[in-house]
Chain A
């Protein structure tokens, strides 16, 4: 395995290996609850809590978990923290809990979280696992808020519930529907692909020019 520095662990999840936009993991919540920025933020916060707690626990307990049952153990850890997040949200942020509904419980099956445990926390120490989890969590948040913003602005004409265009704006209802989620994700991926390709062409061009 390639050695990475702690800062690389942190940055990787945010951009180079953004869970949603590059790795295409955790798409279910990214498509389902991003019809408003507020929901996207609440979902990201819950996921952030779960991934950080799970990574710390998995990396500190990795010695005690036999290889044969590691996936079950990870799921158990994740499910526990999701249940805790669910109860805490219901107690302290009942409005957001009501908005997100069943999707909080579905964080358990977010493969992005299980993926980080299997690919990183199980092999690295607590400090670096936490950095990796925070980075991944931030990357997930960025992707969700981007999608939520795009969909809320076009679908309801507002951002964080502040009306942007006044009463004459005819909202694109499709943007807040599931189909709008797929469209938005498609456009964002298209834009990212375009940027990546331009970057690549530039590097090859400079490489050709320099002897």
Chain B
């Protein structure tokens, strides 16, 4: 950079050449000015982004929280209310240790029926799909081990093919029909009628298998934790979220 500038300096400000107003010399710009221009522009750009982000962040977060709430009730049909439980020291807890951010803790959503009994558990989990991470939420009944629903929260799967994991209702409905776990994916027509079979989507085998894998892995991981016991959720607590 400096060398270039110096070269240009000697080229344009050659003292042997007379300076004439008719032939304007090529203006050289100091390195400082180059850096300063970009720095100022960058600072302004940053400021603008921060301002807009401050405005849009609450809207985006609110939307995401709403979507999650809707999704929990969707995958746990018949649930009256649910509580969020955090994984603290390998046990489920309603509270997180003080002074910690709640986003640092993994969580599950435990749904209660009208009699205040645990009737379903929803787990959100993401794994790499065909293109990027597929994030889903699914619900299951801890007593029977049967699934009660599944919803894709975030996916960048191929539009038209992989996105059938949430657009193909025939595929999605299978998860709401109470299949037993662990799930196995089978090609359409190749199933043996077992209660834990899920028909994969033609043309989107990888994406549909990812959904099945996520559910199996999540259950493998959370089952022991859940079996260790779910602390009773107080009927009224600040963690409680009631259906509106």
Contact = CB atoms under 8 A, between A and B. Distances in A.
Contact of B37 (A36, A39, A66, A99): A66
A68 interface: yes
Contacts of B63: 91, 94
Given A80-B49, A90-B60, A173-B203, A67 B29 contact: yes
A88 interface: yes
A155 B53 CA distance: 37
Contacts of A64: 37
A179 to B, nearest CB: 12
Contacts of A156: 160
Contact of B38 (A72, A88, A90, A173): A72
A41 interface: no
Contact of B52 (A39, A79, A87): A87
Sort chain B's interface into a size bin: 20 to 34
B29 A91 contact: no
Given A64-B37, A99-B159, A88 B203 contact: no
Contacts, number: 70
Interface string B159-203: 111000000000000000000000000000000000000000001
B59 A91 contact: yes
Interface in A88-107: 88, 90-92, 94, 98-99, 101-102
Contacts of A24: none
A87 B159 contact: no
Nearest to B64: A94
A88 B45 CA distance: 16
Contacts of A184: none
B156 interface: yes
Contacts of B158: 177
Nearest to A103: B156
B34 A69 contact: yes
Nearest to A97: B60
B12 interface: no
A77 B41 contact: yes
